[in-house]
A and B are shown apart, each in its own frame.
Chain A
Amino acid sequence: MLEVDNLVVFYGDAQALWGIDIMVNEGEICALVGSNGGGKTTFLKAVCGLLPIRQGSIRLAGKELTHAGAEERISLGLSMVPEGRKIFYNMTVEENLLTGAFVKRSWHRKQELMDRYFRLFPQLEKTRKQMGGTLSGGEQQMLAIARALMSQPKVLLLDEPSLGLAPKMVDLVMEMVTSIKQAGVTVLLVEQNLSKALQVANRGYVIESGRIVLHDSAAHLLENPKIKEAYFGL
């Protein structure tokens, strides 16, 4: 569904990504894990079009995205829940959801979509008229995910959804990710919280210093001694 080949990204004169190859199959949850500064967010931003690509290609459902602008990629079926949620504080919860439905195909059905997600996230419905900035971290995360789903994406990118959340909220978020997959949306989950991510994912990639160092099924990765040593200190 999402194919990234030999992605090279620079920040000015400094190289951040050194030829990343990642493939996400349709209908699966693919995890991209690694420690801080490894290049996870850089990767996601490049895929979305927020960062320019020096080399490489990106394909979504066979369609070449590499030269498309960010807005075009969204309308072609990509969507991202950014790191830090990035809720619009100057709008209500409802309005935040509506921005997610900006793409034409969703705008026609915005009421229907909004009703659907309010039903799925009743906690969100309670806050529907509140301003975005007044929500708690967990509520904001729910809102950010729902907002990203409003555009009816083929592939959903999640950038560190567990960041700053209490353990119970993290579990809730991971449940949500699983139900998103079950609804037929392909997911690329970027996480620092390795164990939680690999528990819900089908496959995983490990990225270090801008390079993919491991990739395998999630189950195998969880048992991999190198991972256990590096990330769990075992």
Chain B
Amino acid sequence: MVKRMVRDTSNKLLGIARDADPRWIAGLVCLLAALPIFIRNDYHLSVMILCLIDASLAVTWNLMVGYTGILSFGHQAFYGLGAYLSGLLAIKLNISPWLGLPLGGCFAALLSLGIGLPCLRLRIAPYVAIATLAFSEIMLVISRNWVSLTRGEMGLSGIPPLSDLSLFGSVKIPFSTGARIPYYYCILIIFLITMMSVYFILRSKMGLALKSVRENQDAAASLGVNVTQAKLTAFLVSSFFAGVVGSFYAHYVSVLAPGAVFGVGKMVEIVAITLVGGIGTFFGPVAGTFALVVGLEMLRGLEGYRLMVYGAALVAITLLMPNGLLTGLKTVYHRYVRTSKQSLSRT
């Protein structure tokens, strides 16, 4: 009985989450944009900033795993690569952090080919999972041991914050003071761009290609889909935005430690968020982020138990809703197609 209730509720939520309706996106953005009016507390704002970072990572991970079916456990590598590149460029070459953002993204995208290309011909999910995890672990090992470059476990400190912006000549937006609000809007814009990019990709022919690859690679190929191109697109786009977010993170916290960005903890966070929210759905990652990250914050005293909660959440979600959120990409897709048609006839 409880199972059915849970399943019905999740189906209803899925219905909302599934349809990437632009009105919902606009609504969400307005809500988020107005947030600092209500939240003045610096600590809460920083929670929201981290929340949006995670949401962006989850959205991009979802593109790769939920929509294309590439079970990647190395997403955090792109995050970390962007972070370290931007941080190092700023420290060693005095390159503006604002330039570092897209550069970090490009660097991550470029290196994603290093794991994307070998993964092209792997079909079984476990293989891809292990290969991508190994890729991320390699980055961890390198960042820990190339001390002359990254200062290893001692941490890369002294990363300059985003430089102050002057808009329209007179308005000055201070980032260097460490005030949270400018950073909040910056990550909000990055999040928005990420979401919109994913939205447009999913709506396009490429989006269909991605989903067909998720369903059945061979069938897709026989129908003329360029599977290689689809997979590479997923890798490049996801890693680019993960890299940008990573760069932002570097300039936001000013110190980078290998474990914080390349570690399994980050990976589990991204996985848990996306799965709890609903993999393969558009708003799932966002919902999951708010559910888990904000939820955890609200349950004070559980801070130390954060990872335990993520772990338990993964187990609970998989067991209670295997036919809802985690059916494995196939059944989510079938439901997507069927109910999209239904929702069209509703309007």
A/B: CB atoms within 8 Å of each other: no
B interface residues with partner A (beta carbon < 8 Å): none
A interface residues with partner B (beta carbon < 8 Å): none
